[in-house]
Amino acid sequence: MSSATLSHLVLDGNSDMPLIARVYEVESAEELRDEEPADETATIVAVVQAGPRALADGAASPPAESRQSREPAPRPEPGPAAEPLEEGSLPFIGQVLAYAPGESLTIRRRLHLDEDLYLADHAFVHAPGVKPVSACMPVLPLTMSLEVMAEAAACLAPGLGLIGFEDVKATRWIEVSDRDSEVLNITAQVQEVDADGQVWRIAVAIQLEGQEMPSTTATVLFSSAYRVDLDLAFGNFSNPYRLPLTGEDIYRERHMFHGPCFHCLTGEIIIADEGAVTDLVTRLPTELFRSIDQPQLLIDPALFDGIGQFIGVWAMQHDRYVLPIGFDKLELYRSTPPAGTRAPIRIEIVRDEAMTMYANVEIQDGSGGVWLRVQEWGSIKFRNQPQVLDFRRQPTRHLLSRPLDLPSLAQGALCCLITKADTQGFDSLLLARHYLHLDEMADFTAKAGVPPRQQQWQLGRVAAKDAVRAWLAARSEAPDMLHPAAFAIDREAAGQPLVAALEGHPRLPRISIAHCEDRAVAIACEQPVGIDIEQIRPRDAGFLASFSTAGERELLDDLAAEGTVRDEWITRLWSAKEAAGKLLGTGLDGAPQRFEAIAIDGGGNFIIQVQGSDRLIGVHSVRDGNFIIAYAAAETAGVSGR
């Protein structure tokens, strides 16, 4: 590479690189076995202490009470206690299971929601105050995995400094879901020592306890001086424009799911065909861990996460949404700038494929020098429906389902319909975590053995909760709707669904839910209500005879004589009976002829008489594509008969 190409990489003043890798040497893990732990399942406990600390940012620590202000979320069940960290330590060096100095190291580190506070700011489900963090799918960021791997590798390279990473691959998420903690097993092994270049390459893998394959792997590079090996050519941008949103707006409007400790995009954003530029701001690492406010971090994992975020901003302008999957190489050219530094970042998309995209990245140090470069940061791409994106961003302001304006619907009643296609890009478990109350998750899980049944049940819950939320919002002056996971849908003894008691809402609607094939519909109303949905399909004479009376078949003959499609009217009749049975809270109870249509008009309106009583139920039916929706919300005759 030519010196002209890299002439702006001024490394003067960085020769005294932080010695962040020294540890107290021991012959082997066996020497640390002074006492066997009482718990037979415990492993060798040893403290690996860091030597000279990394260069400090120079900012003072916040008062202790500010760190303690982030109380842990309530836990669904007791779990292992969090392990407090030592002030000034490498925060991810946990229990040492095996250690051969200069050769290999195995560490066990328990991630814990009470200690690893940053996990609450990297949760895929946005339900603050509604669900505990453990139920919101908190995920270890890829860049925090880089910190984990760098610390493990540092223990094998005493007296050297971190200069970068190679071949980073993330093959699966590391979640701390539905429990308070998760155990990581981190293995590091010296792969190569380049004596001439004074570069140590150390292979590191992070593996969840109980899994057979690693979740994240990388080669971590250490040396006695920074190196410039990458020669990334950044070209000119075409068609640049200023994004209407600033970095601060991105977080305020939740275009990124990240919480405060990962908020590093700042100022205006310029988007072009080939890439984008903006600023990142470095932050104090004082809110990442509960028991330590000055951890000795080898990188800035919160700011590094901003690389993936910024690539995500570019992708969103092209109707794509991305998650990082790794990168080829990252080179560091100087230590982390002090907290509060505005570090310009430039990304350039070098490959944009069907399912993946890759970008080169350069971040400056805020003083005109280059801090780091990344070659081919990879991301997997997704395409989501607009309503999915809006709901995930702001679940209390958007519905996932589609409100239906049904004719002759009772005043104040609200109906919502959703199809499987409406949830495209929404994994079923992730959708459940967004919509279901903790008390409903067991029912969802119990249906996993029959996926179509589970899907229909879930869609029905989505439609019902959206109808309830919209119904309550229409009677409230609050700017936001209720979060769908803030309440549960229960069942009466006869099987009729109902909204479970909800604090602060003494007035709740009556509801009815129906599903068919890949869709579900639900209605919320002040009074008892029934709804049904059925697909129009060919029906033989035997099917019609199984649920209809002779009088009903005569009514259908009259309608068919007028040129009406017979299959559609058979479906309307069946659906009308189902809606009437749901209105009464009994269902058809195995006797559909007990609910007899005594009048039908050409608009799809029925009068259903309950045999053995004088009860008359008005039912309306509409066609929606190839489906019939029938609904009843009153015990009264409202149509003319034939």
Report residue 16 as tokens.
Answer: 């005294």
Report residue 35 as tokens.
Answer: 């006492």
Encode 508-536: b = buried (16+ Cβ within 10 Å), e = exposed. Answer: bbbbbbbbbebbbbbbbbbebbbbbbbeb
What's the rounded Cα separation, in Å, for the pair 590 and 594?
A: 9
The catalytic site residues sit at 122, 305
Q: 423, 400 in Cβ contact below 8 A? A: yes
The secondary structure of 346-400 as a DSSP string is EEEEEEE-SSEEEEEEEEE-SSSSEEEEEEEEEEEEE---HHHHHHHH-TTT--S
Q: 468, 524 in Cβ contact below 8 A? A: yes
Q: 539, 570 in Cβ contact below 8 A? A: yes
Nearest-CA neighbor of 308 among 324, 328, 327?
324
Q: 415, 522 in Cβ contact below 8 A? A: yes
The H or E element spanning position 314 is: helix 301-316
What's the rounded Cα separation, in Å, for the pair 238 and 386?
A: 28
* Alpha carbon 344 to its chain's center: 28
Residue that the structure tokens 């890949």 belong to: 518
Hey, CA dihedral for 99, 103, 106, 111, is it positive or negative? positive
CA R_g for the chain: 31
Q: 25, 42 in Cβ contact below 8 A? A: no
| Contacts of residue 363, Cβ cutoff 8 Å, sequence gap at least 6 | 280, 307, 343, 344, 345, 346, 370, 371, 372, 373
How many other CB atoms are there within 10 angstroms of residue 354's CB atom?
Answer: 6
Assign 3-class secondary structure to 553-614.
Answer: HHHHHHHHHCCCCHHHHHHHHHHHHHHHHHHHCCCCCCCHHHEEEEEECCCCEEEEEECCCC
Burial zone of 280 (CB within 10 Å; 0-12 exposed, 13-18 middle, 19+ buried): buried
> Which amino acid type is present at position 420?
K
What's the rounded Cα separation, in Å, for the pair 265 and 343?
A: 10
Residues paired with 363 in a beta bridge: 345, 372
Alpha carbon distance, N-terminus to C-terminus of the chain:
90
What's the rounded Cα separation, in Å, for the pair 362 and 375?
A: 9
What's the rounded Cα separation, in Å, for the pair 340 and 351?
A: 33
